[in-house]
Every structure is written in C-alpha cells, then in structure tokens.
Amino acid sequence: MLYLGDCIEVMKRLDNDSIDLVFADPPYFLSNGGLSISSGKVVSVNKGEWDDKTSYQDINLFTKNWLFECYRLLKPTGTIWVSGTHHNIFDVEKEMKKIGFKIINIVIWHKSDPPPLLYKNKFRFSYEMIIWAKKFNRHTFNYDKMFQVCSKEMDDVWTLPAVQKFEKNFGYHPTQKPEYLLERIIMASSNEGDIILDPFLGSGTTCYVAKKLKRSYVGIEKEQKYYFIAKNRIESI
C-alpha cells in the first residue's frame, strides 16, 4: 500500500501494533546553501524544501511526532531502523530513548565509493549511521542468514556501494538509498509475509526491495513527483 501525503497524518490513520519493521530515512537537514561534488560536477547540497530546517517550526517536535507514530504502529516484536548523519542522528537517538525505544545496534554504512571533497580542508565523508532499535524486549533477528553473507558473524560496519545507475531508471531522488542496504536490513530483521513501513518513501527503495523479498509494505511520500517514481518502480516487479 502506498500513500501520497504527510507521514505523520497518514500514520495516525493506521492501526496500533500492525507493522513488523520500519525503515526511516528522514530529512538530514543538510540543505544549507553549500556545495558538493556529484558525478564529477560541482552541485548544490540543497535537496528541497523538505530538507531545509527553516521549513519546520520545531525540528525536535517533528522528530518526536513521527517517531511516536512508528512506536505506536510497531508490533511488540517489531524494530525500527533510522538512517542519518551527525546533522540529525543524535537528535533522533535522543527522541527515540524518550519515547521508549531500546537501541540494539548503531550500524555504520561505510560507502565504498564516496564522492571527493570540494574543499580540501577535512577528511572525506564516507559513512552514514543507522540506528536499529526495538519496541520491547524481544525482536526478530535472522542471525544465520547474516552469518551466511560473509561466512562469519556480521559486524556493525557494512562496506557497501552507493546507489547504482540502474536503480535510478524510474527517476532521480537526491537521497536515494541503495538496494543492497535495504536487502540486508529487511532480510536481517523480518520474515516473508511481514509488513514493512517506510514513512519517508522517496524513490521507493524500501517497498521495492520488500516486494522482491515477499514482504508486504506500506510507503508514505509527501512529494508527488517522488510518489509516482516510487509507484512506477514498485509496479515494475
């Protein structure tokens, strides 16, 4: 099921304890007028109004509200994954703990192909953090499947490439996550037939991968152009 609308308002209409797994890629609030390099070209870091701090009256309240709805929707054994950088992830962790989430891991997604620096005055940015947290004491973790990936216990640092060109066939989104990453997350912490929620759907990667892996899905996107990119991509399976 896909919804076009504000994630908080849509989630308020969904039933308590109805979701097995949440993956959330919320605004990082990186849009500050700066510059970066993408595909060898100098580009603006601005993503859109949804990523601009000035578009929100109270960022902490916004974070608290969408996380609270995720908590309400998760089943007792459900878990949530939230991606971010230092721009947002510490605020997310603080609100998660206030609500009652219990942190399981903080995974480091080490990008094997990060872009070069525009200004040569710092270390290259090559990772994002992903908080994995549970609602109560028990949670789903497919240890054996993760062990099989590299024939040993999997660490909390994952070296994976960024989005591949073929993943953008249905349109461009500035913060698209790679299918590799969502495949690992969904396989690690859900089972076939489970219901996966993405409240910030973007280009649809979460629901696209969920469908491939025989999970049900709920995706919410407020930007119409991205909603239709996601819809067409998911329906292509």
As a whole number of angstroms, the distance between CA 185 and CA 224 comes to 26
pLDDT on residue 122: 87
pLDDT tens-place string over residues 113-128: 888 887 888 898 899 9
Average pLDDT of the residues in 5-28 = 97
- Cα(51)–Cα(46) distance, integer angstroms: 8
> Lowest-pLDDT range, 15-19, 46-50, 97-101, 173-177?
46-50
pLDDT at 110 over 70: yes
Between residues 193 and 52, which one has the greater pLDDT? 193
Mean pLDDT computed over 93-119: 93
Does the pLDDT at position 76 exceed 70?
yes
Q: What is the pLDDT of residue 51?
A: 57
Q: What percent of the chain lies above the pLDDT cut of 90?
A: 76
Strand order in the sheet with 19-24: 2-4, 216-221, 195-198, 19-24, 74-84, 127-134, 102-111, 157-160
Write the burial class of residue 33 (CB in 10 Å: 0-12 exposed, 13-18 middle, 19+ buried).
Answer: exposed
**Going by DSSP bridges, is the β-strand pair 157-160/102-111 parallel, antiparallel, or unpaired?**
parallel
Sorted by sequence, the CB contacts under 8 Å of residue 64 that are 6+ apart come out as 95, 98, 99
pLDDT at 31 over 90: no
**pLDDT (0 to 100) of residue 158:** 97
DSSP letters spanning the chain: -EEES-HHHHHTTSPTT-EEEEEE-------SS-EEEETTEEEE----GGG-GGG-S-HHHHHHHHHHHHHHHEEEEEEEEEEE-TTTHHHHHHHHHHHT-EEEEEEEEEESSPPPPSSSSSPPP-EEEEEEEESSS-----HHHHHHHHTS---SEEEE----GGGGTT---TTPPPHHHHHHHHHHH--TT-EEEESS-TT-HHHHHHHHTT-EEEEEES-HHHHHHHHHHHHT-
Confidence of residue 37 (pLDDT cuts 50, 70, 90): low
Whether the per-residue pLDDT at 16 is higher than 80: the answer is: yes
Instruction: Report whether pLDDT(153) > 70.
Output: yes
What percent of the chain is modeled with pLDDT above 70? 89
By mean pLDDT, which of 10-14, 101-105, 170-174 is the weakest? 170-174
The predicted pLDDT at position 197 comes to 98
Residue 117's pLDDT is 82
Q: Which domains does the chain have, with CATH numbers?
A: 2-235 (3.40.50.150)
